[in-house]
Amino acid sequence: MLGLMQDWPLTVDKIIDHAKNWHGDREVVTRSVEGPIVRTTYAAIHERARRVSNALKGWGIKPGDRVATLAWNTDKHIETWYGVMGIGAVCHTLNPRLFPEQLIYIINHAEDRVIFTDLTFVPLLEAILPHIPKVERVIVMTDAAHMPQTKLPRAEAYEAVIAGQSTDCVWGDFEENTACGLCYTSGTTGNPKGVLYSHRSNFIHTLLGLQSTVLGATPSEVILPVVPMFHANAWGIAFGGPAAGAKLVMPGAKMDGASIYELLETEKVTFSAAVPTVWQGLLMHMREHGLKLSTVKRVLIGGSAVPESLIRAFHDDYGVEVLQGWGMTETSPIGTLSNMTPELESLPFEEQLKWRVKQGTPPLGVELKLKDDAGRTLDHDGHTFGHLMVKGPTVARAYFREEGSIVDGEGFFDTGDVATVDDMGFMQITDRSKDVIKSGGEWISSIEIENIAVGHPKVELAAVIGAAHPKWDERPVLLLKLKEGEALDKQEHLDFLQGKIAKWWMPDDVVALDEIPLGATGKIDKKLLRERLKDYRLPA
């Protein structure tokens, strides 16, 4: 027997419809790529998105065709998103931080027909143009006055394109499982892989994100998504903000500490989201200039494990709560969040830190478990390491244009992370499967050592990799990028770790590097680190 409820397809055009109908005057503020701060509303974004849709249809874009964006977080980017998705085309967000060879592969693999780009990336597209023959036209997201001279195919200024278009357009006349968005993994091993979101999965992910234990956005919230829209849909904020009727503040191309601080204060931001390196830059700027935060209540930090020193600095110095999140492109991306239970909230902050440094518990809509190499389910005792497996309506089951499923017999996706789960349900990532250090048959968590080491006042970045050892197979080596003007004292940094990690986890060496490379999503690129240190040998 089936229920007798209405068939109301979960398509994302309904999200921007809702924002226009019930929160139409709510502001969306952007630091434009051209420079000035510009202000618009959800009603205006809705209207202009429909103009984008009609331009696409005029070019012969059909449902299922891929339309790419190579752009920062701006109001125009939001308009383009909804304009593409509303007619059943697939919005493919390109990450400009990838190597040109990776971008070429991704654009060709996706068979993108049109690319919407910001002025910043016109030279990048011009450089790879000979290698992306299926791209038919490029729309530069600016006006005629700022339109550059370019050899890009059928290049036009965005404002000129939409100016003559009608706002009358039918959206959402398709099934909810229709493809909606395409985002490629950063490709640390092999070629990047495409994760193809559906309207249904993005709509459910939006509802998942509106839970109070996740973003919990309301119309009174002012949200600054520093995390780019090309990082798994800005962690869902580009959908969740309009769905909640929250004011959005879009940072454009400038994400340095001074620029972010200016927007936080002038726009009275209450909630923001970014990777740890962005927040470390902001904290450095505020400390140097003796600044405070007047309206920010919470920040969401994800992308890599959050050091205790960062959580403590926000709490102790600025009265801001850090909500740590874990997820990945394949999970849309919300996976877990470090919300404190009532029992933990009652503890002193120092005692809460044991759980705040963990990645937390899954919200409704995400199933999670640990498995061993043989596929057996492991205990949640806080000590047993296992492969982190996830399942749910917002988790990928296959990669775009690749044969075969990526889930096991129970429907769980192997995230590639190694983790523990404690008896309170808090998950903690201990490593990527490919980064875990295996010493004497036991696993050592490089992430845990890194998060402690980066708390030393002389350290800017820390990474731990395994080095070959004749007896123990591998031993940890601590790699440090020191703050400007600091000199390395190996014993000082080993002493800093004493009593905070198991003795047998203690690094066998400490090495100072001029630079610790970051990947396209702001994480430490350990693959590149290992390549650069391939000739390194542990001290005798």
- Residue 261 φ/ψ, nearest 5 degrees: -60, -40
Cβ count near 523 (within 10 Å):
17
Exposed, middle or buried, 247 (CB in 10 Å: 0-12/13-18/19+)?
A: buried
- What CA–CA distance (Å, rounded) separates 423 from 30? 44
Structure tokens at 224: 């600054």
Kindly name the residue from 69, 93, 185, 415 that is annotated as catalytic. Answer: 185
Dmax over Cα atoms in the chain, in whole Å? 74
333 preceded by a cis bond (ω within 30 of 0)? yes
CA neighbor of 305 nearest in space, from 453, 423, 188, 442:
453
341 among known catalytic residues: no
Catalytic residue flag (residue 438): yes
DSSP secondary-structure letter at 459?
E
Q: Pick the catalytic residue: 292, 438, 483, 492?
A: 438
Does 185 participate in catalysis according to the annotation? yes
Helix pair angle (349-356, 308-318), 10° resolution: 140
Strand partners, 414: 389
Provide the 10 A C-beta neighbour count for residue 305.
24
Q: Are 421 and 368 in contact (CB under 8 A)?
A: yes
Q: Which of these is catalytic: 443, 458, 472, 523? A: 443
Task: For tokens 């920010």, name the residue.
Answer: 296
Q: Does 521 participate in catalysis according to the annotation?
A: no
The tokens for 325 are 């999140």
Spatial separation of the C-alpha atoms in residues 312 and 305, rounded to whole Å: 14
**Number of C-alpha atoms within 13 angstroms, CB side, residue 73?**
29
Query: Which listed residue (79, 159, 221, 330) is catalytic?
Result: 330
Burial label for 34, CB within 10 Å (0-12, 13-18, 19+), is middle
Catalytic positions: 185, 330, 438, 443
